[in-house]
Chain A
């Protein structure tokens, strides 16, 4: 039996986003941040490989090669490539800002003693929702 089952990244992203909402419902606001953030990262990775031809998609293997050049800033690589493919200059700026704040909050949620409030958990989920909306315009 083949133990390797392919599960598309866009589906993983949806699962992550839904899981974040479940965690918020359970009042696990701090834990929800991680899922909100990775919903976005997963969709960014997926869209970079599956965007319209004129947007120069980058396969998963090529993404890995390019990411390795960024050492510890691999998500900045994703951000740069995605923003290069968004049309509107204002949206590019807003996407960056949403992403960097969500990323900062994710690091705090995972590695620091900071506890997140309901408002903060919902803010992060909303930021993820906005970014997922813009990512879908790349297909």
Chain B
């Protein structure tokens, strides 16, 4: 289930690797710059996207991000992108000659570009989440002047998702104990159960919130130490910015290719 995959990546946010120790704001800004660079490539550019794969792949490996949940989550979003891009293959039939005998429809290029952009952008975001705990990410948002009420709601939504999951498991267990022969309740019972699940979760959430307020909660994101940018964070951001700029503006792939296949310049 992608829920377990998401939870596993979320837990990994508490690990201790060099990537985890980078400041959350630096990583967030780097990821945003990466995604903007990725999206700025024109419609048919496929090969120039490949050098950009270094960002998510290297960060993921250095951050020891577990590969299986990451791939599982990438796969969940893939069908929609495939559907959106498939039309390109059908509609765009202009031929592109690769060699004297082989030619492809242009639609394949734009389709491949869409799929590759999705994989790289989604991979970068998942690596960001897996190498940065959620509270630190929210604190980075606050430092970016994202309004406090919004990060407050994000905190509680995140917290109450787990409350909801626990209450749902309790209700499910109670139903299974009373009616072991059915896996799922019938529609009428399900509606009633859902309604009462909502009320129970709401009441528990209010108790949690009241408890927090009584203990002095004022809306600030609870982190052990405030984030600040160190030299290594600035170096990291400069490296990512330089890499993105180089990948976007320089024909790196063309140069390497000209080396590999001599005499095949434009």
The judgment on whether A and B are partners is: no
